[in-house]
Amino acid sequence: MKGGFFITFEGPDGSGKTTLINNLRPFITDELKKDLIITREPGGVKISEAIREILLDKRFSEMGSRTEALLFAAARAQHLDEVIKPALDAGKIVFCDRFVDSSVVYQGIGRKLGVQEIIDINRFATTGVNPDMTILLDLPADLGLARIKKHRSEKSDRIDQDQLSFHEQVRRAYLDLAAKNSNRIKIIDGRQSPEKITKNALQLIQEALKGRI
Ligand code: TYD
């Protein structure tokens, strides 16, 4: 059996990660389909989807940053145990929309909890499981927020609603993280057309998976 491979998709709000993952679906061969799990955070399993509802609920504007960070980590621990770890142990490929890097940039930098603190609680949550490759869709924060406003203003969530300066910090933190982890994190310019972005991502994934896609 071929080894498991873990790919995460990251980017600021409105960067187009979810669209990219949907656009990749038609390129996945029937053979690979049996071997591929596509999932997302916060969420992916019943308990984590319930935690997601609490995290994104606009009624909970009083939520403290540490509570937020611990809830993201708790959702991740359950998702890892139920989906990601078993799939990787079975040699499958996992595509995950957001993972620990999101907590590092949103909670560690955006909420100013500290990068090391976030890495520590997430090491506990993930038992040290790390992505093999991360695709970072980079986009200026104002463009991302404008996209959200245009396409789903009625559905904006508690975190989308944060100030532009918060989202600018998140974007810069992602770029910084990518510079420090250039072997793992590959940047794609999110201002390109969806077709171009899909093509770039496919190329990166094909290289990483060497002929499995
Ligand atoms: P997501 O469902 O990916 O939303 P979007 O499609 O708008 O990018 O994530 C929901 C929000 O949760 C998003 O604003 C990013 C935030 N988030 C964190 O702050 N920390 C985390 O660890 C994760 C996974 C997400």
Which CATH entry fits the domain spanning 5-209: 3.40.630.10, 3.40.50.300, 3.20.20.105, 2.40.160.20? 3.40.50.300
Report pLDDT digits (tens) over 76-108: 999 999 999 999 999 999 999 999 999 999 999
Question: What residue segments make up the domains of the chain, in order of their start?
Answer: 5-209
Predicted pLDDT at 154: 61
CA dihedral angle for residue 119, residue 121, residue 122, residue 124, rounded to 10 degrees: 120
Q: Which of 8, 96, 102 to mutate to test the pocket of ligand 1 (most atoms within 8 A of CB)?
A: 102
Ligand 1 pocket residue status of 10, Cβ below 6 Å: no
Per-residue pLDDT averaged across 191-195, rounded? Answer: 97
Report pLDDT digits (tens) over 166-189: 999 999 999 999 999 999 999 999
Range of weakest confidence among 114-123, 140-149, 151-160, 203-212 = 151-160
pLDDT band at residue 120 under the 50/70/90 scheme: very high
User: Where are any strands of DSSP class E within 70-132?
Assistant: 93-97
Please identify, by atom number, the ligand 1 atom nearest to the C-alpha of residue 100.
22
Ligand 1 pocket residue status of 68, Cβ below 6 Å: no
Q: Residue type at 25?
A: R
Tell me what the pLDDT averaged over the chain comes to.
94
How far from the centroid of its chain's Cα atoms is residue 104's Cα?
11
CA 8–ligand 1 middle distance (angstroms):
13
Predicted pLDDT at 15: 95
Q: How far is CA 197 from CA 5, 24, 93, 181, 190, in A?
A: 21, 10, 21, 21, 7
